Structure 1
């Protein structure tokens, strides 16, 4: 049996103490295979974004474990953990988190600069992903001058700059009109279906979730793993 690219076992996460204690996740076990597309679906406060942050190694669990290709993330030092996250994962968030005062290309290559890649290679890699997303003509534009759909495509380009194997997207169309959102969705599914990138998206949009190979529903920090159970 192939080893899942990501898996969790009995994952828990708690915030606060005493009367302010909030159990965001309560014993979540999940496996995600290479090349899969998975929608994590739930209402606000259900724990879906907490789960994504733990899968992406952006936070540490209170209990349980996260495994990346069979390796327990707890066994990785801070430097190794950061390197793994930078090399394997790309991130697309609802809030664009772009520096509006710098160029589109500068925004796209920022992760590569952090990783220590040379300027010439950074530029070549950045221009390649901008070409892929039909934004090469905007490379020198200030990011703040773009439309919402263009900004989200820049965010996707930035996520692709390090050739990730897993792309995490948190409500990626939440700030977009329906037509622009559909274009962004099509880009994400093309990356999954035609480029083999594992796609993990957090959403409360059931129409978007329906396009994924798998839907995992979360309620009160616990998973309902099938559409049938969710409907019940």
Structure 2
């Protein structure tokens, strides 16, 4: 059997010490395979966002192992860690995290700039990503001039510009109305289905989670159950 594309083994994460110590994760094991869509589901404070940050190599566990393609990521340090994270993952956040006064294109190509890609190549790849999200005509617009749905599509374009193998989406429709949110969901699941991008969604939205291949439920820092999507 092939290695999972991403895996966590007995992950624990604590903050503080002594009587002020808080155990956000208490021993989570989870394997995610290439091309899957997986929802990590839990209420606020359950540990789901902490788990996402550890899986995305944005933070380090107190104990336990995160493996990427079968290799222990603890060996990744400094520049190698940043390069691996930048090339492997795309991020879609509820808060958008767009620079308001910068153009949409400038926002979208930021991962390429961080990766040291030349300006001409950045523009070409940025325009291509915007065209895929039907935002090509907004490339020169300021990010703060976009609607909520357009901002989220710009965020998805930014997530795609480096051709990631894995996209993390943290409450990707939380700031959108239901109709716009449905469009964004369709885009994300289309990328998963048509391009084989592994999709990891962190959410408390049961309807969104139900669209994923698997739902992993977290409570008080532990995985309490996993459910597979029932085929229609």
Band of TM-score, shorter chain: over 0.9
In the other structure, the counterpart of 1:194 is: 194
Residue aligning to 2:69: 69
Partner SS, residue 226 of structure 1: strand
Shifted more, 86-95 versus 13-22: the winner is 13-22
Specify the alignment match of 2:209 in structure 1: 209
**Which residue number in structure 2 is paired with residue 42 of structure 1?**
42
**1:16 to partner: Cα distance:** 1.2
CA distance in 2, matches of 1:40, 1:90: 17
Deviation string, structure 1 residues 52-74 (Cα, Å, up to 9, x no partner): 00000000000001000011011
Partner of 2:87: 87
Aligned to 2:116: 116
Q: Indicate the SS of the match to 2:157.
A: helix
Where does the alignment leave 5 or more consecutive residues of structure 2 unmatched?
none
SS at match of 2:3: coil
Q: Which runs of 4+ in 1 moved over 6 A?
A: none
Shift of 1:111: 0.9
Q: Distance in 2 between matches of 1:116 and 1:187?
A: 28
Number of the residue aligned with 2:128: 128
Deviations 1:146-175 (A, max 9, x none): 000000000000010100000000000000
* Counterpart position of 1:175: 175
CA distance in 2, matches of 1:112, 1:176: 27
Aligned partner of residue 201 in structure 1, secondary structure:
strand
Q: Name the residue aligned to 2:163.
A: 163
Which of 71-80 and 183-192 deviates more?
71-80
Residue deviations 1:108-155 (CA, integer Å, cap 9, x gap): 001101111011100000000100000000001000000000000000
User: Offset at 1:227?
Assistant: 3.5
Deviations 1:203-227 (A, max 9, x none): 0000000000000000000002324
How do 1:12-27 and structure 2 match up within 5 A?
12-27=12-27
Shift of 1:10: 0.5
State the match for 2:149 in structure 1. 149
Per the TM alignment, residue 77 of structure 1 is displaced from its structure 2 partner at its CA by 2.1
Q: Distance in 2 between matches of 1:129 and 1:141?
A: 15
- Distance in 1, Cα, partners of 2:110 & 2:209: 30
TM-score (norm 1): 0.97
CA distance in 2, matches of 1:97, 1:76: 26
Gaps of 5+ in 1: none
Query: How many correspondences in the alignment?
Result: 228
C-alpha deviations, 1:77-111, integer Å up to 9, x for none? Answer: 22111111011100001111101101000000011
> C-alpha displacement at 1:193, in angstroms?
0.3
